[in-house]
Structure 1
């Protein structure tokens, strides 16, 4: 639900490039690229001036083909990679007055541990596969300063129950679980410190359709119950249709269209979006 409040998170002119750049490609006004690639110096411009606002309790979907910059954007937002330039403001951090990209490493760690959660496409990036499931949740809580074992156990059991992990399996390591169960443990871990913002990067890719449906139902139920704001990256327009209030379409590192999800899927304006909708729906 979109509200007339301050954005929960505001992203302004996010850029991420891989490579040094050269006179042929450095100036955004006169930049000559093959898609997002400079044929002279081989620099890749993965994100080019990506901007959007995410409001309290809203789910924003980000779609586009492989290589469009969706996952790079998410890695920058969660500080898995350093943005080349740009600004991001989080309402829950110093009332949205500070550019998170300019904060110290220590402050970025605080933001990751307290104010954001991320669920990765590959559970091995988000979980310690040899820890117990409840141990994974405890790890995230310890990183945020928790020290009371009973509190961590109670929170871990509450969350794992919420994501439908049987209580008799909470001491098992995620390496013994199916892909769908691993994603549910990741979701529980991401929610452990009650973050106001959740980043979901291709969370249903590679899962069977029935498992996909159960994970999506879970995300929708948790979002409604907890009122969290979500950035959802997916190449699957069915996933975005089910979950997202608004949608951004990315191509070659740029946002080429944005709007209400129903409007984007039923009346796309850009030629690329039309092609995407017709090929994938």
Structure 2
């Protein structure tokens, strides 16, 4: 099997619950209203999620608010602990070490070297009082870079790449528009050439013309760098434009997955059919 056929990321039976569970909900397999237990109040945000992401692929994840897609992204980037499950990156410890069982130090290494994340809310991904180039330097320093001239050069290269004028590199992101803040986040996330990029609702709240330019940027970067992307959106138009394959989530579960064209043209699950028809 060549490396193109081996997943860069494999997730197996990922679970994330909020609450201890009870006899009624039976660890998520018993009596639930959607993904919520009326008896004990436990929320089963992610339930037995398994999927692969291949080198250079864009995997889209779509679902309504509360479906578990953003919780999944938080678990993948260690912003939240998983309740159970396994994850493997092929370039980390020969693909044999469960990411979720690593020490906090190892998780920091994975975040700083093997993944980048762009948050829906730029406040979570950027230090708003740092300069834009300082935000990029912070990520580089976290990965062990100490050469100031090299970091400045890399920062300028990335900001130019995402169409932030170089003369504004010393400005703080708080002075920028929402679209420019997302561009700075993308530059920061890409600074260490991670093989995996996580994009969580990155165009939500942006004007349509700004959305289009951010999506064009992502599409161009993905082609140029051959990076693997997990893209979460509630907008099927975004998924249609960027994703090779798509997973549909509802109430913490994957209810359908396949090639994006196939899912959009011939959806099988009733919920996916509703989603697709709402786009038409």
- Please give the range of the TM-score, normalised by the shorter of the 2 chains: over 0.9
Cα deviation per residue 1:46-104 (whole Å; 9 max; x = unaligned)?
Answer: 00001100000000000000000000000000000000000010112112111000000
Q: How does 1:32-71 map to 2 (within 5 A)?
A: 32-71=31-70
Aligned counterparts of 1:87 and 1:280: Cα–Cα separation in 2: 34
2:175 corresponds to which residue?
176
Secondary structure in 1 matching 2:12: strand
Contact kept, 8 Å, 2:68 with 2:251, in 1: the verdict is yes
Q: How does 1:85-234 map to 2 (within 5 A)?
A: 85-234=84-233
Contact kept, 8 Å, 2:21 with 2:27, in 1: the verdict is no
The number of aligned residues is: 278
Contact kept, 8 Å, 2:248 with 2:254, in 1: the verdict is yes
1:244 corresponds to which residue?
243
Aligned counterparts of 1:154 and 1:105: Cα–Cα separation in 2: 30
Cα deviation per residue 1:85-138 (whole Å; 9 max; x = unaligned)?
Answer: 000101121121110000000000000001000000000000000000000000
Does structure 1 residue 7 correspond to structure 2 residue 7?
Answer: yes
TM-score (norm 1): 0.98
Secondary structure in 1 matching 2:73: helix
Q: Which runs of 4+ in 1 moved over 4 A?
A: none
Aligned counterparts of 1:244 and 1:17: Cα–Cα separation in 2: 28
Runs of 5+ in structure 1 lacking a partner?
A: none
Residue 4 of structure 1 and its aligned partner are, at CA, apart by: 4.6
RMSD: 0.9
